[in-house]
Chain A
């Protein structure tokens, strides 16, 4: 037990280091971007009407001072970290002076709700079906699932997403194709809103599940078809051990360990995947926010999104790491 606590502490330190370096890298990349947020803001304002050059110059000077972009990089870096410790990510530049944190927190539930649900659901269904398909290799239904999974898996995500859009939004228009909820409902804990959110989430979630399912299904099926020829499975069968116990505790249990590792490794891809998903389905999550921020040169907001994403992924991997020694007793903690 003491070993385990020491292991947790060690991994926690690693977690903090990963977050620090990741966020720092994001900071440097955004600040070295050639897009100047001041020019972007001026373009936005002056685009609507004519301004005198003096007024524009004044505005530029005022905005530059306001955004604090004249400061040297290192002092910005130190300020950035000083503020981040108290969870202040600075004001957003496109929605000045709304704090970036507020924008991120507004978008986060959408992304987490959609992605976490879709990913966990995909992982569970894919692994359970794959495990059963690997064990009951002659089952017709599971063979069919295997063929579908194998056919779907190589199709690029955006193609699947667009096909879903076309089929369910145009050919057979039964589902909303964009947004997070309908315009005519009042956000809050009321049934029309919840129903609207769920119906809007179906297509993006379905696209993620369809694409992800194949990978987990095929991976698990391959793992399990190896495990069923392992001696301990044969032996349990010879002993007449209950079939359900064999499938759950001997076969799937042993295959789950590498699949859990794989899950931790794909968590990083979730946040990059969200950009495409949310763009295709105009979903009001972190991905849409990120694209808006990048286009406007709003590095404060980009950084805020990146910081949240890095922390979330590192945190999820941390949790999976902690589960490992519990799932597989052969993994020793030092």
Chain B
């Protein structure tokens, strides 16, 4: 389904998106609501961070963005539309060929666990050829020229092309994967935990690399990690996901200094700061079971501010400030749990 309407600055528009894991064992149907009623949009030329604890549905959400879902995970409702230039496409309404045509050319994906995303028995050179030759539409000579220019821009030695994945270090492999995902200069890049399992020094390099590539291409990056400090460093806007729902969204600085959802307030407060000796407040309870989520606001069993209404009615996502939305009945009363000084300007 390709249409040419709408003129906005959004690359991705998501409305009421629902993706559930649907499983049936012995006649008992079970559904896990990993992505539940998410409405958001990703703008051109921004880094959007998605934060949340483990099993909160972050990865399911961006897998849905990447049109990478497989049964049992399936779309249950809502819509998702990409806009690349004047090409508008809903991957779940388009044919497989149409979706394949935008992959890597317009939209690429940096997968979780980049240690194992490269075929162990093929040289990196073959991976570049398999992944990027078709979308770039160049002849062999121009293609390899473009690849080596791209590697040079990213400060990667050209010899990595002749290596096998196991011959590279973890950080190097991650950087090769980023190079692979950006060589076609896509408008939309999805990065799932690209810095997990890397030590902090390499992490910093990798983040800087993503930042640089994003700036150079002017693409949009959706970035998932549970590490709030990474978000603080790199994201322009952050969306907080809790139990499959988007609970708060706003510019990075606003979210860190003036969170308007109790869950965000706790996430921010849990960040360690040099010289801070105070005990970190922790939340009681565990993340809810997504197969049987609590009624009303999903955070209410653990929320210190919960009132009766929270247990029965789902709070809508409402705009409460410039670019700032929160899904909490008492959003106006939420205050930061710790007073942050000015957030550090240090951006990598």
Taking A231-B113, A245-B130, A330-B166 as contacts, is the C-beta distance between A238 and B103 under 8 angstroms?
Answer: yes
Question: In this assembly, does B119 line the interface, its C-beta being within 8 Å of a C-beta of chain A?
Answer: yes
By a CB distance below 8 angstroms, the chain A residues around B120 are: 232, 254, 328-330
Assembly CA distance A232 to B135 (angstroms)? 19
By a CB distance below 8 angstroms, the chain B residues around A250 are: 119, 122
| Chain A: CB-nearest residue to B70 | A234
By a CB distance below 8 angstroms, the chain A residues around B126 are: 249
| Chain B: CB-nearest residue to A245 | B130
Q: Closest CB of chain B to A232's CB: distance in Å?
A: 5
By a CB distance below 8 angstroms, the chain A residues around B117 are: 231-232, 235
Question: In this assembly, does B66 line the interface, its C-beta being within 8 Å of a C-beta of chain A?
Answer: yes
Question: In this assembly, does B6 line the interface, its C-beta being within 8 Å of a C-beta of chain A?
Answer: no
Of the candidates A234, A242, A329, A330, which one forms a contact with B130 in the assembled complex, judged by CB atoms under 8 Å apart? A242
Q: Closest CB of chain B to A250's CB: distance in Å?
A: 5
Residues in A70-122 with C-beta less than 8 Å from chain B: none
Question: In this assembly, does A143 line the interface, its C-beta being within 8 Å of a C-beta of chain B?
Answer: no
Of the candidates B100, B116, B164, which one forms a contact with A329 in the assembled complex, judged by CB atoms under 8 Å apart? B164
Assembly CA distance A249 to B121 (angstroms)? 9
How many residues of chain A have a CB within 8 Å of chain B?
22
B109 touches A232 (CB 8 A): no
Assembly CA distance A237 to B120 (angstroms)? 16
Taking A235-B111, A239-B103, A240-B104 as contacts, is the C-beta distance between A327 and B121 under 8 angstroms?
Answer: yes
Assembly CA distance A172 to B90 (angstroms)? 60
Residues in A247-306 with C-beta less than 8 Å from chain B: 249-250, 253-254, 257
Question: In this assembly, does A241 line the interface, its C-beta being within 8 Å of a C-beta of chain B?
Answer: yes
Assembly CA distance A257 to B108 (angstroms)? 31
| Chain B: CB-nearest residue to A235 | B117
Assembly CA distance A242 to B130 (angstroms)? 8
Main secondary structure of the interface of A (DSSP, over half): helix
Residues in B77-107 with C-beta less than 8 Å from chain A: 99-101, 103-104
Q: Closest CB of chain A to B136's CB: distance in Å?
A: 12
Assembly CA distance A241 to B122 (angstroms)? 14
B118 touches A240 (CB 8 A): no
By a CB distance below 8 angstroms, the chain A residues around B119 are: 232, 236, 249-250, 253-254
Of the candidates A239, A241, A242, A327, which one forms a contact with B109 in the assembled complex, judged by CB atoms under 8 Å apart? A239
Of the candidates B103, B121, B122, B166, which one forms a contact with A240 in the assembled complex, judged by CB atoms under 8 Å apart? B103
A238 touches B164 (CB 8 A): no
Q: Closest CB of chain B to A240's CB: distance in Å?
A: 4
B121 touches A241 (CB 8 A): no
Name which of B100, B109, B126, B130 has the most chain A CB atoms within 10 A of its CB.
Answer: B130
B68 touches A242 (CB 8 A): no
B111 touches A231 (CB 8 A): yes
B121 touches A239 (CB 8 A): no
A239 touches B104 (CB 8 A): yes
Assembly CA distance A254 to B100 (angstroms)? 24
A241 touches B164 (CB 8 A): no
Question: In this assembly, does B143 line the interface, its C-beta being within 8 Å of a C-beta of chain A?
Answer: no
Q: Closest CB of chain B to A175's CB: distance in Å?
A: 42
Assembly CA distance A236 to B116 (angstroms)? 12
By a CB distance below 8 angstroms, the chain B residues around A328 are: 120-121
Assembly CA distance A328 to B166 (angstroms)? 11
Chain A residues in the interface with B (C-beta under 8 A): 230-232, 234-242, 245, 249-250, 253-254, 257, 327-330
- Identify 14 residue pairs between A and B in the complex whose beta-carbon atoms are under 8 Å apart, listed by A's number: A232-B118, A234-B68, A234-B111, A236-B119, A237-B68, A239-B104, A239-B108, A240-B101, A241-B130, A249-B130, A250-B122, A254-B120, A330-B121, A330-B164
The 3 closest A-B pairs by CB, nearest first: A240-B103, A240-B100, A231-B116
